[in-house]
Structure 1
Amino acid sequence: MADTSYRSWPFLDEAHRDWARQVETVAAGLEIDHSDTDAACRRLVQDLGAAGLLQATASPDGALEVRNLCLAREILARHDGLADFAFAMQGLGTGAISLFGTEAQKSRWLPQTRAGKAISAFALTEPGSGSDVANSTMTARREGDDYILNGEKTWISNGGIADLYTLFARTGEAPGAKGLSAFVVPADLPGFEITERLDTIAPHPLATLRFTECRIPASAMLGAPGQGFRIAMSVLDVFRPTVAAAALGFARRALDEALARVDSRHVQGAPLFDLQMVQGHLADMALDVDAAALLVYRAAWAKDTGTPRITREAAMAKLFATDHAQIVIDKAVQIFGGEGVRSGSTVETLYREIRALRIYEGASDVQKVIIARAARAAHQGDRA
């Protein structure tokens, strides 16, 4: 049984604990058929919407409760990685609408996404610009009351099954990051196509998108022209701690599986737990889980209590939680021995699930740069 003692930490209150219990109940009742990933994600969005969990992923007043998002992702990830994915992508895809959308944009899309009746996606990455968002080459050309989209996006989660995409394109107000704008793009427009479905070691709906003279009304823009980079970073500020929370959920599940294994598996007539080296592995795993939880819920608490930007805290949480979840899961595989690499076993599935989290929404190496720059800026500020 997973440890829930962290929910009594001062970062969380009774409302968060009630929410966590609700998510646990829903997660335990989900039926997920992994033989068809697209169909499973569509069903998951419907089920999570019907259960009320997707209410947390978007807000008409722009007030996203990051602690609730983190709790939901941690719990769902502990139960099933695809359930976490379905929940998370609804939030990431509509985060910009919650934070920067007009009343018309919110009223059109958020009731549908929160009810699980429409699937959303966040289209930022391009073939030539992953972490380097400012190097985006996709264009949105103004033509009367419309914009004309041209270019490609790739590695887009929910690509191919989404009903709407939050899309970032170059409108040219200035060079680099200051020349990007954000748009809400329905999936059924002429000139928009899915050119490739991408397979990964942990199957999720992923695709490459192409836009060829794709016309959208100027009213589809989120915020003002040239605010795209700011919008993207604001959304990632909210959702990076939730990536860390998902990693935490995977790590907790791996620790739980390992703890059960060391009592049920016997070596030379004694439980596996009696080996001191195994005890050392378990101690390291438990330490990594608690340390990750502290960083995750500190970042979420800071955002919810009014810290304007949590770039540093979010980067620390994502870096530590994802990298150390990889370590925790690897130790669980080692404890399981041959069973740990059996295709479809719980720890083998976790081993495949965790790897992508160290890449998307800012790779681990990028998080180190962010943390180093923040530490330097704080030091120079102290000296001043």
Structure 2
Amino acid sequence: MADRSFLDWPFFEDRHRALADALDGWAAERLGDLDHADTDATCRALVRHLGAAGYLEHSGAMDGQLDVRTLCLIRETLARHDGLADFAFAMQGLGTGAISLFGTEAQKREWLPLTRSGQAIAAFALTEPQSGSDVANSTMTAVRDGGDYVLNGEKTWISNGGIADVYTLFARTGEAPGAKGLSAFVVPAGLPGFEIAERLETIAPHPLATLRFTDCRIPASALLGEPGRGFAVAMSVLDVFRSTVAAAALGFARRALDEALDRTATRTVQGAPLFDLQMVQGHIADMALDVDAAALLVYRAAWTRDSGAPRITREAAMAKLFATDRAQRVVDMGVQLHGGDGVRSGHIAERLYREIRALRIYEGASDVQKVIIARQTLAADQDR
């Protein structure tokens, strides 16, 4: 049983505790024997189930506000039960976050009821083959032609690529060089000139793809927010969802700690539980410390945003860097404590080991988070 005492921390309100308890029960009932054989079909089913249960209502802004503590609690809980369930929820939120925050009323009416009910799948198309974390270096273009924009270029490592019904997409419109020349668009799947160039396989299977656009026309009404403000749109969304990546890592770490506790309490060595060895107790202590420290950083960032801070760039970067790095360490120790079973294909310890690794890369790699933290710290010092 995962530790639930953190829900008593002052970061949370009763509504957060009630949601966490309800979701934990739902996940225990629905996700225990989830079939991962067909990733696409499973993700589609998970989105439908999460929508039917009402949890996707929390995936975007309500009345112009995102409740980041709720997003983090949902991601942590789902990740603890099943990584693909966390992925399905998270990508739905990331894909529609910009629409709910910056979309026109027409864009919201068209897509939010569908995505929140689980009838449509969303994606966030930002990364390009040559740019990676350097978003300002994006080269995909959206050229105005009368009442349309014409898209040309590629996006890659796009989560839900190939199964999404709608993409929040970023392209260069040329208002200025670098970051100030990008705009955001709402792009439905299936348009002429829009193709899935490649499906990408990873060590923890998820729907991922490279998207290619060749003279693909979208109406000017597909513009999301103001022209040339796409970078600000992307960063505003990532600022929020970066904290939730940290929450997912926390969920994986909690599960690894739970499994390690069960293993060391029931596995005997020379007639005594493995846990009785002082070295093992030291490992368990390190794991518990990393989990609690990560949780404090995650929910500090979420609480700060929910309390009215316009940006949480520094707090979110700290949470993501620490939680993902320490979760990797916790999961690795969990594998070690399971011995041979820890590397047996299909074992929970082995699955967690594969699932945790990508979180130190996507939505800003660990080294990028260090740069962000350093710059934010310097700026804060100069402002004093």
For the criterion TM > 0.5, the same-fold answer is: yes
Counterpart position of 2:266: 264
* 1:16 is aligned to 2:16: yes
Letter of the 1:2 partner, please give it: A
Match for residue 194 of structure 1 among 187, 196, 206: 196
Counterpart position of 2:301: 299
d(CA) in 1 for partners of 2:47, 2:29: 14
Match for residue 73 of structure 2 among 67, 71, 74: 71
d(CA) in 2 for partners of 1:29, 1:110: 27
Counterpart position of 1:167: 169
Provide structure 1 residue ranges, at least 5 long, that are not aligned to the other structure: none
1:197-242 CA distance string (max 9 Å, x none): 0000000000000000000000000011000000000000110000
* 1:177 is aligned to 2:157: no
1:343-364 CA distance string (max 9 Å, x none): 1100100000000000000000
The answer to whether the 8 A contact 1:178-1:227 is kept is yes
d(CA) in 2 for partners of 1:364, 1:214: 35
Counterpart position of 1:94: 96
Counterpart position of 2:316: 314
Deviation larger for 61-70 or 252-261: 61-70
Counterpart position of 1:55: 57
Letter of the 1:172 partner, please give it: G
The answer to whether the 8 A contact 1:38-1:205 is kept is yes
Counterpart position of 1:243: 245
1:100-148 CA distance string (max 9 Å, x none): 0000000000000000000000000000011000000000000001000
Name the TM-score, length of structure 1 as normaliser: 0.99
* 1:7 is aligned to 2:7: yes
d(CA) in 2 for partners of 1:29, 1:218: 45
1:25 shift after superposition? 2.0
d(CA) in 2 for partners of 1:377, 1:140: 34
1:377 shift after superposition? 1.3
Match for residue 209 of structure 1 among 208, 211, 234: 211
Residues 145-156 of structure 1: pairs in structure 2 closer than 5 A: 145-156=147-158
1:82 shift after superposition? 0.2
d(CA) in 1 for partners of 2:29, 2:220: 43
Counterpart position of 1:325: 327
Counterpart position of 2:29: 29
* 1:139 is aligned to 2:121: no
What percent of counterpart residues are identical?
A: 77
Counterpart position of 1:285: 287
Match for residue 346 of structure 1 among 345, 348, 359: 348
Match for residue 114 of structure 2 among 109, 112, 116: 112
1:329-373 CA distance string (max 9 Å, x none): 001111011111001100100000000000000000000000011
d(CA) in 2 for partners of 1:380, 1:148: 43
Count of aligned pairs: 382
Letter of the 2:331 partner, please give it: I
SS for the counterpart of 1:213 is: strand
SS for the counterpart of 2:149 is: strand
1:60 shift after superposition? 5.2
* 1:222 is aligned to 2:224: yes
d(CA) in 2 for partners of 1:338, 1:34: 23
The answer to whether the 8 A contact 2:46-2:88 is kept is yes
Counterpart position of 1:255: 257
d(CA) in 2 for partners of 1:30, 1:360: 27
SS for the counterpart of 2:123 is: strand
d(CA) in 2 for partners of 1:110, 1:140: 24
d(CA) in 1 for partners of 2:192, 2:22: 41
d(CA) in 1 for partners of 2:314, 2:262: 36
The answer to whether the 8 A contact 1:59-1:110 is kept is no
Residues 333-372 of structure 1: pairs in structure 2 closer than 5 A: 333-372=335-374
Name the TM-score, length of structure 2 as normaliser: 0.99
| Deviating 4+ runs (over 3 angstroms) | none
Letter of the 2:29 partner, please give it: G
d(CA) in 1 for partners of 2:383, 2:228: 29
Deviation larger for 315-324 or 27-36: 27-36
Structure 1 vs Structure 2 CA RMSD: 0.7
d(CA) in 1 for partners of 2:340, 2:38: 27
